[in-house]
Chain A
Amino acid sequence: MIQIVDRSMLVPNIHLLTLEAPLVASKIQPGHFVIIKANEKGERIPLTVADWNREKGTVSCAFMQVGRSTRKLAALKMGDEVETFVGPLGKAIDINRFGTVACVGGCYGIGSIYPVARAIKSAGNRVVSLIEARSRFLLYWEEKIRQVSDALIVSTSDGSKGEKGHNSDRLREMLGEGQSIDLVVAIGCTFMMYAVSEATRSFGVKTIVSLNPIMVDGTGMCGACRVEVGGKTKFACVDGPDFDGHEVDWGLVLARRKAYIRHETVSEEAS
C-alpha cells in the first residue's frame, strides 16, 4: 500500500496528491507517468508526474477530477493509502540542448509541464513557458513555473488574467512575429495539445505532445492505448506517451477517449 503524505486542491477541480513511493521517486524523469488504482474495486488510471523529491522518496501528481476514478482520488485524505502506484512508465522526454523551448501547459498539464520546463532549463536552454486556464481562478503554480523559465506567458479564455485566448493563439502570434522557437512541448487536455500542434504546423516547429488515451496496464500488454502516429499504430504507454503532434491522428485520439462515454454515466450514477 502506498500512503498519501500530502494533498491539496490547487484550484477548483484540480488536485495535487503527494505519495510516499521511494522506488518510483528514485527513477522518475520528466515525461514519465504512473498508474494509480485507488482501491480493490478501482480502475487503473494513468497520471503524469508533476514533481518529486528523491531524498524524501515522494512523488506528486496533479489531476483533474473528471469522472469516477479521479473523484475517488480527490476524496483521499492525508494518511490514506492507495492500492497501486506503479511507475515510472512510458519514455522520458528527451532532454538536450535545443535552443529556445516553449513549454506549454493547460489544466492538469500546468502541473505536468513544470518538471519538464525545469529539466529543459537546467540543460541550458532558453525556456518560454505558456500556461492557460478558462479563468484567473483556475490558474496555479505560476510562480513555480516562472522560476524555471526565462519568460512566462499566461492566457485565460475570459481574459481575466494575462492575455485573452489560448496557448495556441500565443504561439501563432510569436511564430508569426518571427520569434525563434526550436521546440514546443505541450501537456494537458487533448484539445489544447491538438490546437497547439495545429498552430505550429505551418511554421514547421517540432511539437511534442503527451498523449493521454485510455489505458489499462500501462506496460504494453493490452493495446487499449492505441494511437496512430505517422500512419502507424503505436501503444502510447510504451512507445510514448510523447509523440510528434504534427504526425498524430487527432480525430482518432479524440474518438478513442469517448469509448466508454455511456459507462461513465452509469458509473457516476452508481456512485
Chain B
Amino acid sequence: MVKVASNKTKMREQPPEERIRNFEEVPYGYSMEEAVAEANRCIQCKKPSCVQGCPVEINIPEFIRLIKEGDLRNSIRVLKETNVLPAVCGRVCPQEEQCEKYCILAKKMEPVAIGRLERFAADWEAQQGDAEIPRMKKPTGKRVAVVGTGPAGITVAGDLIQLGIEVTMYEALHEAGGVLVYGIPEFRLPKRIVAREIAHVCRMGVKLIKNVVIGTSLTVDDLLKEYDAVFIGSGAGLPWFMEIPGENLNNIYSANEYLTRANLMKAYRFPEYDTPIAHGKVVTTIGGGNVAMDSARTALRLGAKRSIVIYRRSRNEMPARDEEIHHAEEEGIVFHFLTNPVAYHGDALGMVQEVECLRMELGEPDSSGRRRPIPIEGSNFRIPVDVVVVSIGNSPNPLIPNTTPGLETGKWGNIIIDEETGRTSKKGVFAGGDVASGAATVISAMGAGKKAAKSILQYLRDGKW
C-alpha cells in the first residue's frame, strides 16, 4: 500500500473571533492544490466501501480520481449523475456518519475528506458560470406537480424533467429551497448556492409557483385534476414546544421562527429589512441537535454576549454533527449538559427573564439507545436570559393530510409511504423526505426523491397502483 498522509488536508476557515461578527461562510473551501493533495489520499479501492455509506451511492472513487487528474468538468458530471445538489451536500451532509464513516482509511487514520472534495468540485463548477443542462428526453406529455421545494422536491423535479415529464413545483413561502433557505444559516450554507440550484432546475424547464399553500390555496385533489401524479415533499416544519409554564412569554422562539426571521427574512439586516428579531445579551438555546447549534451560533452573530446551550443529556449523546459542535465550542458557546428547563419566568411586560432548570443524571439506555436523562429532585436553579430558542424537534405539518381524504398518516403526523416506491395510500400521490421520515437529513430527503421519481415514471407508464 502506498504511503498515505494520516490526516485530512485541512480546510482554511475564518478565525472564530472574526466570524462570530459576520454571517459569511465559515470554511473557505479547498484550493486546487489542497484538493489534489486530499484526492491523492484516496487509494481508489476496487470495492469502495465508502459508496455504501452514501444514501445516493455517488461513485466516490471516480469523482475523486477525476479531481486528481484535474478533470473537474467530468468530476462534477459523475457527482451529478446521482446527486443534483453536490454543493449543498458537500457542506451539510453528516459525512462522519455516512460516506466517510465507511472509508477504508477510517480504520487506521482520518478518512478521505469526501465531503470537502465534493464541495470543491461543485464550487469549481459554479465559478465556470451556469451549470451544464443535461440531455433531456423527448416530452412525454405527462405532467407532475411537486409540493415543496426542499431537497426532496428539487430532486424529484430535476429527475423527472430530464425524463421528458412536465413538472410544476409549488412552494408555500416566497422563496424556494425549504430548510436550505429558511433554516440552515448563511454561514453554513450561503443562500446563493441554493438559489443557483433552484435556477438550474428552472432552466431545465421546471415551473416554479411560489406563495401557494397546498391544502388551502389548492388541495391535493385539485392538483390531481390537473396533473397525472403528485409528489409531496413538504418537510417536517411543525415546531415542538415543551409545554412548560411561561413558554409563551415574549422572546421565547421556536428555532424555526428564530432562524426564519434571521435567514429568510434577513432580520440580521434590520432595519434595512423590515422583519425584527430580539437581540439579547444572553441567548439560551434548548436542545442538542444541528438546529440547536445553528440557533446558538446565529445568536452570537446577532450580537449576543453569551450564547448558552441547554441539553438534557451529556455531550456524548448530542445528535448534532461533530463539526458543528466543534465550531460552536470554538466560537465560545457555553454548554449546560444534563440540564432541563422546567419553567420560564418573565417581567411585568411579559418578556422572558429567567429559565428555571433541573439537573439531570443518566440512567439506562432508552429506545434510541442513548442513556435516558433522569431529573434530580429539588435541584432547581435559574439562569437569567433575554432570549430563548426552543429547538427540541419538529414534525410534519398536518395541513396537507388534514385536507387530503385518503392520505394515511402515522403517529407523528408523517405521511405513510412504501419506502421503495414513495407511494402513499392515495392513488397517484407520492411522498418523501422529512414529511414521511420525520426530521432527517438533506441527503436522505434526496435519496427518497430519487426513488419516488423512478416509481412516478413507472406509474406514468403503466398506470398501475
Which A residues lie at the B interface, using CB under 8 A? Answer: 23-24, 27, 37, 41-44, 68-69, 72, 83-89, 216-217, 219-224, 226-228, 233, 238, 251-252, 255-256, 258-260, 263-264, 266-267, 270-271
Q: List 14 A-B contacts (CB under 8 A).
A: A41-B266, A43-B275, A86-B172, A86-B217, A216-B260, A219-B172, A219-B399, A220-B398, A224-B253, A227-B248, A228-B248, A260-B276, A263-B271, A267-B274
Residue from A83, A223, A251, A267 within 8 A of B241 (CB atoms): A223
- Known A-B contacts A88-B217, A216-B260, A226-B248; the reply to A41 vs B273 at CB < 8 A is yes
List of A residues within 8 angstroms of B173 by Cβ = 217
- Known A-B contacts A233-B241, A256-B250; the reply to A216 vs B257 at CB < 8 A is yes
Contact status B274-A259, CB under 8 Å:
no
Contact status A258-B349, CB under 8 Å:
yes
List of A residues within 8 angstroms of B218 by Cβ = 23, 27
Contact status A27-B216, CB under 8 Å:
yes
Q: Which residue of B lies closest to A224 (CB)?
A: B257
- Known A-B contacts A41-B273, A223-B239; the reply to A87 vs B250 at CB < 8 A is no
Least Cβ distance of A219 to chain B in Å?
Answer: 5
Contact status A220-B270, CB under 8 Å:
no
Residue from A24, A89, A222, A270 within 8 A of B239 (CB atoms): A222
List of B residues within 8 angstroms of A43 by Cβ = 265, 274-275
Main SS at interface, chain B = loop
List of B residues within 8 angstroms of A256 by Cβ = 248, 250, 350
Count of inter-chain pairs, beta carbons less than 8 A: 118
Within 8 A of A (CB), among B269-313: 270-276, 278
List of B residues within 8 angstroms of A228 by Cβ = 248
Cα A158 to Cα B257 with chains together (Å): 42
Contact status A221-B260, CB under 8 Å:
yes
Most chain B CB within a 10 A radius of its CB, from A220, A221, A260: A221
List of A residues within 8 angstroms of B397 by Cβ = 219-221
Contact status A220-B265, CB under 8 Å:
no
Contact status B257-A222, CB under 8 Å:
yes
Contact status A223-B254, CB under 8 Å:
yes
Contact status B350-A41, CB under 8 Å:
no
Contact status B216-A88, CB under 8 Å:
yes
List of A residues within 8 angstroms of B216 by Cβ = 27, 87-89
Contact status A27-B237, CB under 8 Å:
no
- Known A-B contacts A217-B172, A222-B254, A222-B260; the reply to A89 vs B211 at CB < 8 A is no
Q: Which residue of B lies closest to A232 (CB)?
A: B243
Q: A27-B217, A216-B257, A220-B398 are in contact. List 15 more A-B contacts (CB 8 A).
A: A43-B265, A87-B213, A87-B216, A220-B237, A221-B238, A221-B239, A223-B239, A226-B248, A228-B248, A256-B248, A258-B349, A259-B250, A260-B276, A263-B276, A267-B274
Interface size class of B (residues with CB under 8 A): 35 or more
Contact status A41-B251, CB under 8 Å:
no
Cα A220 to Cα B256 with chains together (Å): 10
Q: Which residue of B lies closest to A45 (CB)?
A: B274
Proximity string of chain B (71-99) to chain A, C-beta cutoff 8 Å, 1 when within and 0 when not: 00000000000000000000000000000
List of B residues within 8 angstroms of A223 by Cβ = 239, 241, 253-254, 256-257
| Cβ of B174 under 8 Å from chain A | yes
- Known A-B contacts A219-B399, A221-B239, A255-B250; the reply to A83 vs B174 at CB < 8 A is yes
Cα A216 to Cα B182 with chains together (Å): 12
Q: Which 10 A/B pairs are nearest by Cβ-Cβ distance?
A: A255-B350, A263-B276, A222-B257, A270-B271, A223-B254, A259-B250, A43-B274, A86-B211, A221-B237, A84-B174
List of A residues within 8 angstroms of B174 by Cβ = 37, 44, 83-84, 86
